[in-house]
Chain A
Amino acid sequence: MAKNYLHLVLISVVLNCFFALHARAQCDSTAAIASKYMGENFVSDGQSYRALIFDDQIAEFTTTLYGKSTYRVVGIGGLEKEQLHFNIYDEDDNLLFSNADYQNSAYWDFEINSTLDCRIEAKLDLMKQKSGCAVLLIGFEQ
Chain B
Amino acid sequence: MKKLVSAFSLSLIAIIALTVSCDERTAENGGDVSQVDVDSSKSTIVNVSGKLFSIPSPIQTASLIDRENTPYRIDALADYNLADNIPERNMKALNLGMLGIDMVYSSFYDDAQNSLKYYKAVDKLAVDLELKSAIDQELIKRVGSNVDNADSLIYLSSSFYQALDAYLKENDRSEIATLVLTGAWVESTMLTAISESKPAKEALAAQKKASATLYKLIAKIELGNNDFSEQLDSLNTSFANIEKEYQYVTPEVIPDQKKTIIKSESSYKLSDSLYTDIQMRLIKLHRIING
Report if A and B associate in a common complex.
Answer: yes
List residues of chain A with CB under 8 Å of any chain B CB.
4, 7-8, 11-12, 15-16, 19, 24, 27, 31, 43-67, 69, 90-92, 94, 96-97, 102, 105, 107-117, 120-121, 123, 138, 140, 142
Cβ B159 vs Cβ A44 within 8 A: yes
Tell me the count of chain B residues lying within 8 A, CB to CB, of chain A.
Answer: 70
Cβ B47 vs Cβ A61 within 8 A: yes
Chain A residue with Cβ nearest B61: A66
| CB-contact partner of A8 in B13, B53, B207, under 8 A | B13
Chain A residue with Cβ nearest B171: A24
Chain A residues with Cβ below 8 Å from B13 are 8
Q: How far is the CA of A37 from the CA of B56 in the complex (A)?
A: 20
Q: Annotate B252-284 by CB proximity to A: 1 below 8 A, 0 otherwise.
A: 010101111111111100000000000000000
Chain A residue with Cβ nearest B203: A66
Cβ A57 vs Cβ B45 within 8 A: yes
> Which residues of chain B from 45 to 80 have any CB-CB distance to chain A below 8 Å in the complex?
45-48, 51-60, 64
Chain B residue with Cβ nearest A102: B255
A15-B14, A64-B206 given; A54·B23 CB < 8 A: yes
> Which residues of chain B from 1 to 43 have any CB-CB distance to chain A below 8 Å in the complex?
6-7, 10-11, 13-15, 17-18, 21-23, 26, 29, 33, 42-43
Chain B residues with Cβ below 8 Å from A105 are 258
Cβ A111 vs Cβ B261 within 8 A: yes
Cβ of B158 under 8 Å from chain A:
yes
Cβ of B170 under 8 Å from chain A:
yes
Cβ A115 vs Cβ B202 within 8 A: yes
Could you list 16 further interchain pairs (A-B, Cβ under 8 angstroms) beyond the known A43-B57, A61-B47? A7-B7, A12-B17, A24-B170, A45-B158, A47-B54, A48-B162, A58-B42, A62-B48, A67-B202, A67-B266, A97-B251, A110-B259, A111-B260, A114-B267, A115-B206, A142-B155
Chain A residue with Cβ nearest B170: A24
Q: How far is the CA of A140 from the CA of B158 in the complex (A)?
A: 11
Chain A residue with Cβ nearest B48: A61
Cβ B22 vs Cβ A116 within 8 A: no
Cβ B262 vs Cβ A115 within 8 A: no
Cβ B260 vs Cβ A90 within 8 A: no
Separation in Å of the B121 CB from the closest CB of chain A? 18
Separation in Å of the B112 CB from the closest CB of chain A? 19
